[in-house]
Structure 1
Amino acid sequence: MVLPVTLVIAAACAVINIWLAVRLVRGRMSGKVMVGDGGDPALLAGMRAHANFVEYAPIVLILMALVELARGSQGMLWIIGAVFVLARIAHPLGMGRSAPNALRAGGAMATWVVTLVLAGWALAIAVDAGDTDAMTIVPVETAPRG
């Protein structure tokens, strides 16, 4: 089964991941830092932004795929996926700024909301599926002892 929404959002996430990696490589090259952050706050912020993306993207994509497989509304999934992608672009842009800012906070908050909405949606689907007779316990007969 093809999961068009999840596939598109996963592709967008792959592009974001490469964008974040390229930003790091450029920072490493200009600072001549091959491992770690070399004490450069900007490089550390870039590393954390990339790591933060890698921490959230897999669970969101897994939840999206499972909800989509369970016949979740594609329209709602498109909206949730778009919010996630925008949040994951905003967050690292905000991480590059020294002071607290709306891009970083908004990106983080939107990511949390998307994750919680998908988790709740997945749980609701699971609970609803549990109300059917799809899972029936059949007793096993024991063989006579002789």
Structure 2
Amino acid sequence: MGVIPVTILYAGLYGLLMAFLSIRVSFSRARLDVEFGDAGHADLQTKIRVFGNYTEYMPMMVVMFLVLELAHTRAVLLHAIGSSLLFLRILHAVSLKADARPVAWRRMARFVSALGTLLILIGMSLLLVKPYIL
């Protein structure tokens, strides 16, 4: 398989999610005949921000994930981190919908996905600096 099989698996899954989010933006642009920006369409703006938020967080998360695997972090912990992060990013994308009326589960899902992503970021960071602190 390779020396970093867990990172390979989750990088592939995260890439597929990124492609899906990108395709959603492209299809919306084509349907609305918008070449650049959002042209004032709230739904397109939301899809652009979901994709943007994903691309803002995930590169650093994947790099830290890779470094953790190279540092011989246990595979079970890596799978817990990787699958949780994938679930949270899907939850984040699903919970954001511009034209939907406010629904309690959407607000809670956004909160959980944002907080969960932040906690994973902090957790991975602490795992990486732990040897230098102790």
TM-score by length of 1: 0.82
Matched residue SS, 1:34: coil
Partner of 2:64: 63
Identity %: 23
Say whether the 8 Å CA contact 1:45–1:95 is kept in structure 2. Answer: yes
Query: Matches of 1:126 and 1:34 in 2, distance apart?
Result: 49
Equivalences for residues 59-138 of structure 1 within 5 A: 59-97=60-98, 98=100, 99=102, 101-127=107-133
Aligned length: 128
- The structure with more radius of gyration: 1
Query: Matches of 1:126 and 1:70 in 2, distance apart?
Result: 13
Matched residue SS, 1:81: helix
Unaligned runs of 5+ in 1: 129-146
Query: Matches of 1:21 and 1:119 in 2, distance apart?
Result: 28
Query: Matches of 1:82 and 1:74 in 2, distance apart?
Result: 12
Q: 1:95 to 1:86 in 2, by over 3 A?
A: same
Partner of 2:42: 41
- 1:126 deviation in Å? 4.0
Unaligned runs of 5+ in 2: none
- 1:105 deviation in Å? 1.8
Query: Matches of 1:54 and 1:15 in 2, distance apart?
Result: 13
Partner of 2:5: 4
1:15 aligned to 2:16?
yes
Q: Which has the higher contact order (CA 8 A, sep 6+)?
A: 2
Say whether the 8 Å CA contact 1:10–1:61 is kept in structure 2. Answer: yes
Q: Give the superposed CA RMSD.
A: 1.5
Query: Matches of 2:6 and 2:24 in 1, distance apart?
Result: 27
